[in-house]
Structure 1
Amino acid sequence: MRNLLNFLAKYNHVIVFILLESLALYLIFGADNYHNIKFYKGFRGISANIEKSVSNSRYYFGLKEVNDRLATENNVLKERLAMLTTGKEYSTWEVIDTSLGRQYCFFEGEVINNSVNRQKNYITINRGQKDGIDKDMAVISADGAVGIIVASSKNYSVAMSLLNIDMRMSARIKSNGYFGSLSWDGVNYLEASLSEIPQHVSINVGDTVETSGYSSIFPEGVMVGVISDYYSSGSDFYDISVRLSVDFKKLRHINVIGNRLLEEQTELESSFE
């Protein structure tokens, strides 16, 4: 009790001040509706400004992440386009002037339907014949090869995914140039198999696998994946597992590549079959 009395005696001025301030605030905002409304509006204004600042900050950092991703994709695709042209200047992905000597044309698109859990997976994109998309065009993303267009309508196209047991693609090991056939066994959506690589060839886990260019559909040098494992199968060739560079479960932005010389090449080659 003595301690309490000492405390009250020591801080009596502060205690009286707090009590009077509390009473004044109660009389102003409790009894006067005008001041109550003004106080509420002021508080709401401050709160709204804080919420707006937080929202703008979140939007800014989210937008930066999207821009970084798009910039990366843009740079990769520009490098590929430069590699596939004859050195002429270009200003658009849809290169349509064959007189410039460009063999390939590029079309941007988005995936609107996709699957990875079937034996035969297909991808639907939001571009069709009105956009220049047709059968036997390659589909790629910024990460690598995706599939081949097998059908198109006016506004949409369907591609056979690399994750399809009927899919075959000519692919090579970048470090030594040896090529084989890439296929999918229908089990793991992250991996494919590369066959027909002879066992006298030196290979290593981590070696890059890319398109060979021995195709009328895929141009040379498109990323496919990296060697994740390999072993001797008892034959003259390796059994090679390839970790695909494209994550098909989050595939969204794609590019379709058309070969303007496809018909000429296939007609000539078919005459020798």
Structure 2
Amino acid sequence: MKEIIKLILKYHFTIIFILLEIVSFSLIIRHNEYQRAIFSESASILFGNISAIATDVKNYFRLKETNESLANENILLKNRLEQYELSRDTIVQGTFMQDSIPVYEYIGAKLVNATFNRTKNYLTLDRGLKNGIWKEMGVCSPDGIVGLVQDLSGQFAIVIPLINVDSRISAKIKKNSYYGSLQWDGVDYRYSYLNDIPYHVEVNEGDTIVTSGLSKIFPEGITVGYVESVDKETANFLKIKVRLAVDFKRLDYVYVILNNKKNEQTGLEAINYHE
């Protein structure tokens, strides 16, 4: 208390001056309509800006919660879409079944670790065996294909992304359905290469590359990337540089793809393709 009194005594002239300024300012505003209107408008603008800043700060700290909510909603919508398409197909065929199971379902996951600057990059997801994830499941994001589950534990999964030199997926040119093998060259995380496309195929810059559907991992038609350039590799094949749809340095939430009919297809192929 003594320190406060000393402080007041030390700066009493300054304090009195500030108080008189406030009183004078108050009297001017109170007894002059024009100044009162200006002050009211300025105060409204000031408090409006403060309120906007406070709202932005509040929303910033809620981004994680908002992103998780949107990711969960997207998963729900994707699974409902798969169920709808199954129901539509069975109704058209006249064989509607209430308990029909869609071919593909989606499990939400969040990226918790990743590498980008190696030739063999990996991603870690916060979902594992306990969440219904198994090896060789496909992984995608809202933008496109991410990679393939390689290993996992109860609560985590390791993914080989497209930016790993050991990664190979079947992809095709959307406009004409010619398909080949997508493989990364280990140089730039933004680009990969589509190989084994015949020399005579028409491919133009900007053409969309999608999954071919010729595997038990990815549904057909998921975006992989866009043609950046086309070069002649040999006399028979083109070398197509693909700008990947997914920006791996901004990746956050992903979908793990469950193929409900994978085991049935694998078993049938093992019997018929066995030599």
In the TM superposition, structure 1's runs of 4+ consecutive aligned residues that sit over 3 Å from their partners are 22-25, 27-30, 49-52, 59-81, 83-89
8 Å CA contact 2:79, 2:106 repeated in 1: no
Distance change in 2, residues 1:168/1:23 (3 Å): closer
**Structure 2 unaligned residues grouped into runs of 5+:** 1-11, 21-46, 89-96
TM-score, structure 2 normalization: 0.71
Q: Report what 1:82 is aligned to.
A: 81
Contact 2:116 2:248 in 1 (8 A): yes
In structure 1, what is the equivalent of residue 94 of structure 2? none
Q: 1:219 to 1:85 in 2, by over 3 A?
A: farther
Secondary structure of the 2:149 match is: strand
Unmatched segments (≥5 aa) in structure 1: 1-21, 31-48, 90-96
Q: Percent identity?
A: 36
- 1:82: Cα distance to partner? 2.4
**Which whole-Å CA distance do the structure 1 matches of 2:240 and 2:18 have between them?**
81
Deviation readout 1:18-68 (Å, 9 max, x if unpaired) = xxxx979628969xxxxxxxxxxxxxxxxxx78962542323675898869
| TM norm structure 1 | 0.72
Q: Do the aligned partners of 2:191 and 2:242 also contact (CA within 8 Å) in 1?
A: yes
Cα deviations by residue, 1:205-232 (Å, 9 ceiling, x for unpaired): 0000000000111111111000000111
Within the alignment, does 1:226 sit opposite 2:216 as a pair?
no
2:171 aligns with 171
Partner of 1:26: 16
Alignment of 1:56 with 2:54, yes or no, is: yes
In the TM superposition, residue 266 of structure 1 has moved relative to its aligned partner by 1.8
The 1:24–1:63 alpha-carbon spacing in structure 2 relative to 1, beyond 3 Å, is: closer
Of 230-239 and 165-174, more deviation after overlay is shown by: 230-239
Q: Which residue of structure 2 aligns with residue 146 of structure 1?
A: 146
CA offsets per residue over residues 214-251 of structure 1, 9 Å max, x none?
01111111110000001112221100000000000111
- Deviation, 1:88, is 3.3
Distance verdict in 2 for CA 1:222–1:59, change over 3 Å: same
In 2, the alpha carbon distance for the partners of 1:107 and 1:214 equals: 22
C-alpha contact 1:76 1:142 (8 A) present in aligned 2: no
Deviation digits for residues 76-98 of structure 1, max 9, x if unmatched?
Answer: 98468626853439xxxxxxx99
Match of 2:231, SS state, is strand
Q: How many pairs were matched up?
A: 227
Task: Say whether the 8 Å CA contact 1:85–1:101 is kept in structure 2.
Answer: no
2:75/2:255 contact within 8 Å kept: no
| Counterpart residue number, 1:110 | 110
Matched residue type, 1:163: I
Equivalence for 1:17: none
Report the Cα offset of residue 123 of structure 1: 0.7
Conservation of the 8 A alpha-carbon contact between 1:230 and 1:241: yes
Q: Cα offset for 1:201?
A: 1.1
Please name the residue that 2:183 is paired with.
183
Q: Secondary structure at the match of 1:194?
A: strand
3-state SS of the aligned residue for 1:197? strand
Q: Deviation digits for residues 97-117 of structure 1, max 9, x if unmatched? A: 993230112111100011111
Give the SS at the match of 1:171: strand
Instruction: Give the AA of the match of 1:267.
Output: G
- Counterpart CA distance in 2 for 1:69 and 1:132 is 19
- The residue type paired with residue 269 of structure 1 is E
Contact 1:123 1:161 (8 Å CA) reproduced: yes
How well do the aligned residues superpose, as a CA RMSD in angstroms? Answer: 3.5
Aligned to 2:30: none
Cα 1:123/1:84, change in 2 over 3 Å: farther
CA gap 1:131/1:80 in 2 versus in 1, 3 angstroms:
closer
Equivalent-residue separation in structure 2 for 1:137 and 1:84 (angstroms):
19
SS at match of 1:57: helix
Instruction: Give the match for residue 92 of structure 1.
Output: none
Q: Which residue of 1 aligns with 2:8?
A: none
User: How far 1:159 sits from its partner (Å)?
Assistant: 0.8
Equivalent residues of 2:144, 2:246 under 8 A apart: yes
**SS of alignment partner, residue 266 of structure 2:** helix
